[in-house]
Structure 1
Amino acid sequence: MSTAQAWLRLGTAVLATALVAGLAFWWANLDRSAAAFVGKSDTHFTLGGTPFHFVGVNMYNAAGDPAIYSCGPWMANPDEELQQWFHRAKVESGATVVRFWAFQSYTAGGTDWSALDRVMRVASKEDMKVIPVLENQWDSCTEGGIKDATWYAGAYQRPYGYPLSYRDYVRKVVERYRDNPAVFGWMLINEAESASAGGQEDPDALYGFARDMSAFVHALDTNHLVTLGVPGGAGKPGASGGHYGALHALPTIDFLTYHDYGFDDAAMPGLPVDLASPLIVSVFTQDNSWKWADGGYTQLKSRAWQTLSTNVPAGAQPYQRMGLNFVGQFTGDVYIGRVQVGTHDYTFNDGTTGGWQANSPFVLDNVPGVGINGGDALHLSVSPTEGSQISLPLPDDVQAGTPISVEVYADGPGQTNLSDSLAAALHDGANLDKPLVVDESGMVTCQPDGGRPLETPASRAAKFDAKLGAFFDQGGAGYLVWTWNPESDCSYDFTTGDPLNGVLARYAANLRGA
């Protein structure tokens, strides 16, 4: 052996010894007392014996590693870079909790834990908590494919594109980190829902999976909380309507989750309101990939005609769909009278609910109880559980800036009652004495294809300000924004310098002082 080879071998041995010693020191100095773990009491979390409310971020690719697996344009390697990202999110936005993917793909089928170990070390150093998500409902960032009723009914106990079954992988990851207080709690699936091959609901399959796996994790780990990871909202097979409450009523499911998307302008979708208070009405142009809203929202006044005004947006094309979108559903009636786009009049006066006619250009979508009432007014009976939308083609001479006006009034009890709304989910949590976390909520500020921005960073920050205020006022426990991305500010991303950071930091400070 040459002298150079000897020095190289010696240096490698010294480095390995130092690394092992460093890991041993970190592990030996972890606070693993009961007070270091997140608990729950009724509808809030606890930490160190005191209530723990939080804001945080999704950093889904935190465990990305070029030597193992990555699902995104960015990754952090080594520790120092990831710690810088966690530190920036903590300092700028007040984040104390980070949600990330801990799928089998990030561990080379349960054989290489270095990437997940790095996330745990960094979280511990920054005094932050992480929520590892153990698998995806969808086929992104995983080799497991889309999960269907067959998978939830028992296939999760067999290998499914990986060397390990889901159940065996969960055993390995939970046993590895069950004594680590950096873990906030375990999330079994991202956006869990169950449908048969024909698209029909199979709630029993998802319920059986949730019951089995949550009990399984609790048997392995007495330190950490467990949740299933359903997104909430309507149209989630096996996980919406009454199934949402039933899943979270399981004694081994410790907290509820909800994804707050789609109602950007509603601070608390589904919250009972009187029609004399703001009810959001938007006028937008849509094709199959985008929509805009000018922010000129107003309230519907009970039993009083009013005119809503806005303008045709830049980029609108003839025969695209302009819509009247009622965000915030209520048990009452809405009457639509005259609609004008520039000099073009649109009226609905013959009772037709389909097809376009010269005097009836409206196309109705998901509007129950449509009928004629009061002459030329369109009468919509809005149900508690269905949205209402009217769309019509823009005229062939449409130009950006053309004024749009809509005559409208509302009648009825004026109470929202959206069964799959965030407000309803919070109500479920209160009835079950369990905390609720919004584990994803995002708004688009730009589009990778160069489409028109839906929000400016400032308008997004203002809308999140309203959402966070309403959420915590209604008893919410934690709110995680999608997604903190150190290298991009496009689509749902936000990063250093975004005004959303200031909003989150203010709520974080208020929650610490609560």
Structure 2
Amino acid sequence: MQRTTHRTYYFFALAMILLVGVGSTQWAQAGSAEAAGPNRVEATADGLELDGSPWWPSGFNAYQLATDWSVNQGCGAMVDLDSYFSSLEPNSLTRFNAFQRLAVNKFTGELDFGPMDAVFAAAEAHDQMLVPVFTGGDGACEDVLFKGRSWYTSGWKTLVPAGAPLRFDQWVTTAVNRWKSSPALAGWELVGEPETSLCGDSACSWQNRTCPSDSGQILRNFFDQAGAKVRAADPSTPIWAGLLGGGQCGSAGGDYQLLGASPHVDVLEYHDYGADGVPLPGDVWNGLATHIVQAQAVGKPLVVAEIGQNAGSCGTREDRVDDFETKIDGQRAAGTAGALFWAFVPDPREQQCTFDIGPDDPAFDLVAELNTVGP
């Protein structure tokens, strides 16, 4: 879930920018390969596998990794990629924004893959794994327009978003072809937190949205069709569903299982907020326990891909980590297949009450304990 505070950032670390540029050049050559690389990650009914061994991944959402203020419009603060990835245990998992807008040069308006190439290059250099997310349902860090029903029926393959040169379907094909050979690739995610609400006004304000009875089928059709485009370019890398899982339009109740049954959905998701220290939040219709059962019914693993809890002025980081640990112990026992925390930022607002997880946060130690490869 995009929770970015738009602020102005000033950076004077020229050495870091040059380092990113070198990594970008090296990866641009490798990333242009036509053939997909080795299928390192497999999604099974029993969970995820990495290089043929059981893998229970943990790590962070780090949405702003591709921010480079010398190239793109950015999304949050710039990150020292080598510092971030080297602070994680090998084979940890990071989910990040691979939005088209972050691959557009703000000076020329043309595609510029340098910042995203640098993310893949740094992850590979430090034996890390990535799930790139192609767009967000709320439009944050792009055109700031909510993606409603019409976008999922046709807009994704007919509209060119403001500030970008490609339609969404074209961006998906372009991105998959560019990075499918990366050994850091753990999965593709089409949309973060999709909702197929019918907009009642030009701003699609939530108060005026409705949810027709066929909304689940609309979203299923999108997953089937857009997922087929991913499969055409990369037949084997798992596709993640990006679902929030809290009863949103298109994935509420039984629609969650309908989406999970798509042949082009391999990993289901749940995003966990507002239930600090509670392992299985939610109700009997849209709670995590229900979604675990639904995932098992369609033979797909479920990863709790966002777990957020406030800290800073409203609580200590240590107490937050204790709550994280309590929560994940229960979730893992119930059958979840991984856990990612929201969200790593290089500049945590320690005097405010936020989800920020900074470079020295004790959550890094918890990730090291949780992330396991092997029996």
What TM-score do you get using the length of structure 1 for normalisation?
Answer: 0.61
Give the aligned partner of residue 61 of structure 1: 64
Note if contact 1:178-1:223 (Cα within 8 Å) is conserved in structure 2. no
Note if contact 2:196-2:250 (Cα within 8 Å) is conserved in structure 1. yes
Task: Give the number of the structure whose residues are more often helix, by fraction.
Answer: 2
The 3 A distance-change label for structure 1 pair 27 and 174 is closer
Give the aligned partner of residue 309 of structure 2: 443
Give the aligned partner of residue 351 of structure 1: none
Residues 99-114 of structure 1: pairs in structure 2 closer than 5 A: 99-108=95-104, 111-114=111-114
Deviation at 1:484, TM superposition (A): 1.3
Question: How far apart, in 1, do the equivalents of 2:155 and 2:36 lie?
Answer: 35
Residues 125-274 of structure 1: pairs in structure 2 closer than 5 A: 125-143=125-143, 145-158=145-158, 159-161=160-162, 162-198=164-200, 199-201=209-211, 202-234=215-247, 236-269=248-281
Aligned partner letter, 2:359: T
Note if contact 2:133-2:189 (Cα within 8 Å) is conserved in structure 1. yes
Question: How far apart, in 2, do the equivalents of 1:477 and 1:110 lie?
Answer: 39
Give ranges in structure 2 of 5+ residues lacking alignment: 1-21, 201-208
Residues 48-87 of structure 1: pairs in structure 2 closer than 5 A: 48-76=51-79, 81-87=80-86
Give the aligned partner of residue 124 of structure 1: 124
- Partner SS, residue 68 of structure 1: coil
- Partner SS, residue 194 of structure 2: coil
Q: Kindly tell me the number of residue pairs found equivalent between the two proteins.
A: 333
Give the aligned partner of residue 462 of structure 1: 322
Aligned partner letter, 2:95: R
Aligned partner letter, 1:205: I
What TM-score do you get using the length of structure 2 for normalisation?
Answer: 0.82
Aligned partner letter, 1:160: P
Give the aligned partner of residue 335 of structure 2: 475
Rg (Cα) greater in structure: 1
Note if contact 1:61-1:101 (Cα within 8 Å) is conserved in structure 2. yes
Residues 402-421 of structure 1: pairs in structure 2 closer than 5 A: 418-421=284-287
Give the aligned partner of residue 344 of structure 1: none
Question: How far apart, in 2, do the equivalents of 1:20 and 1:468 lie?
Answer: 36
Aligned identity (percent) is 28
- Partner SS, residue 266 of structure 1: coil
The 3 A distance-change label for structure 1 pair 21 and 259 is closer
**Which is bigger in relative contact order (C-alpha 8 A, separation at least 6)?**
2
Give ranges in structure 1 of 5+ residues lacking alignment: 1-17, 271-384, 386-417, 447-451
Question: How far apart, in 2, do the equivalents of 1:229 and 1:254 lie?
Answer: 11
Deviations 1:86-108 (CA, angstroms, capped at 9, x unpaired): 112x04xx771111001110111
- Partner SS, residue 462 of structure 1: helix
1:503 aligns with 2:366: yes
Q: CA RMSD in A?
A: 2.5
The 3 A distance-change label for structure 1 pair 237 and 431 is same
Question: How far apart, in 2, do the equivalents of 1:168 and 1:436 lie?
Answer: 28
Deviation at 1:193, TM superposition (A): 0.8
Residues 316-465 of structure 1: pairs in structure 2 closer than 5 A: 385=283, 418-446=284-312, 453=314, 455-465=315-325
Aligned partner letter, 1:465: E
The 3 A distance-change label for structure 1 pair 23 and 107 is closer
Deviations 1:256-294 (CA, angstroms, capped at 9, x unpaired): 011011111312225xxxxxxxxxxxxxxxxxxxxxxxx
Deviation at 1:32, TM superposition (A): 7.2
Aligned partner letter, 1:181: P
Note if contact 1:193-1:239 (Cα within 8 Å) is conserved in structure 2. yes
Question: How far apart, in 2, do the equivalents of 1:22 and 1:43 lie?
Answer: 37
Question: How far apart, in 2, do the equivalents of 1:190 and 1:23 lie?
Answer: 26
Note if contact 2:97-2:135 (Cα within 8 Å) is conserved in structure 1. yes
The 3 A distance-change label for structure 1 pair 27 and 230 is closer
